[in-house]
Amino acid sequence: MGRELSHFYGGRRVPGASGRFADVFDPNSGDVQAQVPLASTAEVSTVVEDAARAQPGWAATNLQRRARVLGRFVNLVRENIHELSALLSLEHGKTLGDSRGDIERGLDVVEFAMGAPHLLKGEFSDSVGTGLDVYSMRQPLGVVAGITPFNFPAMIPLWKAGPAIAAGNAFILKPSERDPSVPLRLAELWIEAGLPGGIFNVINGDKEAVDALLDDPRVKAIGFVGSTPIAKSIYTRASANGKRAQCFGGAKNHMIIMPDADLDQVADALMGAGYGSAGERCMAISVAVPVGESTANALVAKLKERLAHLRVGVSTDPAADYGPLITRDALERVRDYISIGVTEGADLVVDGRSFALEGHENGYFIGPSLFDHVTTDMRIYQEEIFGPVLSIVRAGDYDHALTLPSEHRYGNGVTIYTRDGDAARDFAARVETGMVGVNVPVPVPVGYHTFGGWKASGFGDLNQHGPDAFRFYTKTKTVTSRWPSGIKEGASFVMPAGDHA
């Protein structure tokens, strides 16, 4: 049955009270390693109440002191990063190196959020009228929540919690029930860093917990990352309930390979971007678009050669390139998509379905797969597979290649490999996606720039991290001020405007 996990609120771990639990599996073996409680609506309400009680005191805390708590938290996470990486790998199946990267990229945003004293500054205009000054201030929303996915159990919670807490809010995290242990451990480190109880909370659960957060009027904003149908549903329900919402969904990220590109560099980039973390990344490259037949033929040959040497292993194997998928359902889903691609007529150059890891036959392992001659009407092109499957879509020329990501229903990220600066500049300006890379394999921006996709990949006006995060987690108050100066103007019935104010 495994160990029993908990929730975390009020500054401590709290056992579940609903009587409902979900199994947490070891993806390497298929064994149950823990049980996580699934919160009831009443439990969620208790957490919200506790957060709402704690938030005003935190909002009144000096900005620099808030930033210092974030700084101590960053240091504590780095001191415990080996423990956290091992815990993450055990539940998710990522390699230890990949798990460490998950945590480090989350810390990048917390470090950015330490600049809250600067990022929360308002604006000031003096003498907009006779004796009149106007200034603005950014104030926290109150209680906010994040609903985060299994594939980044450290990074995405930190992306959301860091700016939210720095801005003076209380934050409630509803992590994936598939790998909840790292968020619980991070909650303990927040307290050790000096964060008051009730400001960072973890409530584990399923749809009941999510609906409770969406419907509770004390929760002022919701952030979500997951599949597009759920992102759209959460955005719609949150908005209908008067909440701010930023909801990020699926992706089908393309890599455009121009004829002048260094194909060895491209093939190496595709190996990591397409197959790293078993393809369970919203920014994974799942479609390669070589321009011209000779480019395509050469690229497929190089990928096929490299795939023969790719190592799939347990998450603790330092030589493994990637580990297992998260669940048996995920494994079957990826296998089904590969079968669909074959049925649709794509050329399966490398088939990973029969892969089995000796001694771990019940683990959720699958080998890498490579499709060639994929067309835009195929489901394996239109839909997100979320596994180690790369599709080659051959483009006749640059304009054809530009059209593919621009017309796809998803618009998360895209990258182009070329030595032609004019082509790269034109591509970056015209392609219809939210994030663009030029000669980089995964176009994830650094923590002080914004992250977010377009079209069916994102719902909401503001993105994750960067300055948008502070805009999302605060509300602007504008003050027009005049101090008595002996001026007697009498009553005015005209709307003030400009220099008549």
- Catalytic residues, which ones? 282
- Beta strand 7-9 with 12-14 is antiparallel
Q: Yes or no: say if 448 and 113 are a contact pair by the CB < 8 Å rule.
A: no
Q: How far apart are CA 119 and CA 112, in angstroms?
A: 10
- Structural tokens at position 97: 């190196």
Angle at 444 between CA 269 and CA 79, to 5 degrees: 100
In 3D space, the residue among 296, 496, 271 whose CA is nearest the CA of residue 394 turns out to be 296
- Residue 147: both structure tokens together: 């609903």
DSSP structure class, residue 296: H
Three-state SS for 187-254 is: HHHHHHCCCCCCCEEECCCCHHHHHHHHHCCCEEEEEEECCHHHHHHHHHHHHHCCCEEEEECCCCEE
- The answer to whether the beta carbons of residues 260 and 291 sit under 8 Å apart is no
Beta-carbon contacts of 285 under 8 Å, excluding residues fewer than 6 positions away, are: 253, 254, 255, 270, 273, 274, 390, 415, 441, 442
SS3 per residue for 391-452 = EECCECCHHHHHHHHHHCCEECEEEEECCCHHHHHHHHHHCCCCEEEECCCCCCCCCCCCEC
Q: What token pair was written down for 461?
A: 């006006």
Task: Provide the pairing of β-strand 143-147 with 170-174.
Answer: parallel
Cα-based distances in Å from 248 to 229, 452, 454, 492: 10, 7, 9, 49
Q: Which amino acid is at 282?
A: C
Asked if 189 and 76 count as a contact pair (C-beta separation under 8 A), the reply is yes
Query: Which of 223, 189, 183 lies closest to 11 in space, CA to CA?
Result: 189
Closest CA to 265 of 444, 439, 402, 442: 439
Bridge-based pairing of strands 285-290 and 389-392 is parallel
d(CA 176, CA 63): 31
